[in-house]
Structure 1
Amino acid sequence: MTEDERWNDINDHVTEEWKAETTPFERIYEVLEQTHDGQSAGKIAERALVSEPTARRHLKALVTTGFAATVQDGRTTLYRRDGDRVLQTRIRELRNQATRDEILDGIRRMKTEIREYEDEYDALSPEELARQLPTDAGKEWEDVTAWKTTRQNLAVAQAALAYDEASKQLTA
């Protein structure tokens, strides 16, 4: 057995195991959770190992319940995970996993990290830095990505802190 054949066997085995251990709805949901850009029901069906009518039925339910969003691309409906729900989930998870003091410490660290990027590159944002970079800049492109991620994480941490404060005010 060649190396490629062995890997195909492993992939086939994992695929069959996933199919046996999950329902079509669960597979559609998992695929959707990994879909940042819109994909057609046919593409999602293919990835989730279900028929297209099955995918459409489950995707419609996920849109109705707010777990998915749609966008039209000509005559094709594209499905993706709902960004607001993803954000709410991240905020809730952070509130459950970290104390107020830990969130505040994280906010301070992220603000310091952002100031360091601003000072190092003399830029106000990762987008500004990206406009200045040549395509072959290695470390700098990695820093653009890291800076964007830090900025996103900071926004989530600040939202979690604000949500926590609002919750306390409502129950006081």
Structure 2
Amino acid sequence: MDESRPDPYDDINEAVERDWKAETTPSERVKSVIRHTYTPTSAADIADGAQTSPKTARKHLTSLAEDGFVTTTAGAHGATLYRRSDESLITERANRLLAEQSAEELAERVTELRAQINEYRETYGVESPEELAVQLGRETLDDTGADTRTDGSVVTEWQTTRRNVAFANAAISIAEATEHITGDRSPSVPADDSR
């Protein structure tokens, strides 16, 4: 085997990166990188991922921050760090839900999910998945009732259900606001009690 030849995967990755850089603007690449950046990250690291200079990345990140797509925080030595804003994630997910279902269908789904949350509360005798996690931790430490202990995955399922209610409610709110602006009204949705 010829060891001087590059790994074929390196060639493929380089070709994909070249094509991406040729087919997109620095602004598009910065937005693509920050779209998947959930922890505070330096402009230099984002620039590296976006194949542009830190100065260019910083310019586009500043613009995205002004638009609410990016959140900034102060890093060490006064550096600005960037990450995707929670609001932009919520809006994107809500709009995706609205593309798949009507506000009325989402309202029905919220009712079903709230019933599921109430069932968790009644079944486990606690008000939140976090309280259930504490309860499960105590059971583990006590090491009693090993055969009857609740599977820890219930905590994750409850949290996911609660998060899905929040996203569906956000989608419904966007639909109602849009309809209000255009002069239409949709049926109201019951108040949220999905702690």
TM-score, normalized by the shorter chain, greater than 0.5? yes
> Would the alpha carbon gap of residues 60 and 166 (structure 1) be closer, same or farther in structure 2, given more than 3 Å must change?
closer
Please state if 1:126 is matched with 2:137: no
Q: TM-score normalized by structure 1?
A: 0.78
Displacement of 1:167 in angstroms is 5.0
Alignment correspondent of 1:143: 154
Please state if 1:78 is matched with 2:81: yes
- CA–CA separation in structure 2 for the residues paired with 1:18 and 1:61: 22
> Would the alpha carbon gap of residues 115 and 10 (structure 1) be closer, same or farther in structure 2, given more than 3 Å must change?
farther
Paired letter, 2:12: I
1:82-121 equivalences in 2 (<5 Å): 82-121=85-124
Alignment correspondent of 2:171: 160
- 1:71 is paired with a residue whose SS is strand
- 1:124 is paired with a residue whose SS is coil
Among 9, 15, 18, the alignment partner of 2:17 is 15
Displacement of 1:47 in angstroms is 1.6
Q: Which runs of 5+ in 1 are unaligned?
A: none
Identity within the alignment, % = 39
CA RMSD of aligned residues (A): 3.1
CA displacement 1:96-154 (0-9 Å, x = unmatched) = 4312331122112312332343344433212222334459x9x51x4333322221220
Please say which structure displays the higher CA radius of gyration: 2
Q: Which runs of 5+ in 2 are unaligned?
A: 141-148, 185-195
- 1:78 is paired with a residue whose SS is strand
CA displacement 1:53-90 (0-9 Å, x = unmatched) = 12111111211222212111231211112222332333
More displaced 10-residue stretch of structure 1: 125-134 or 24-33? 125-134
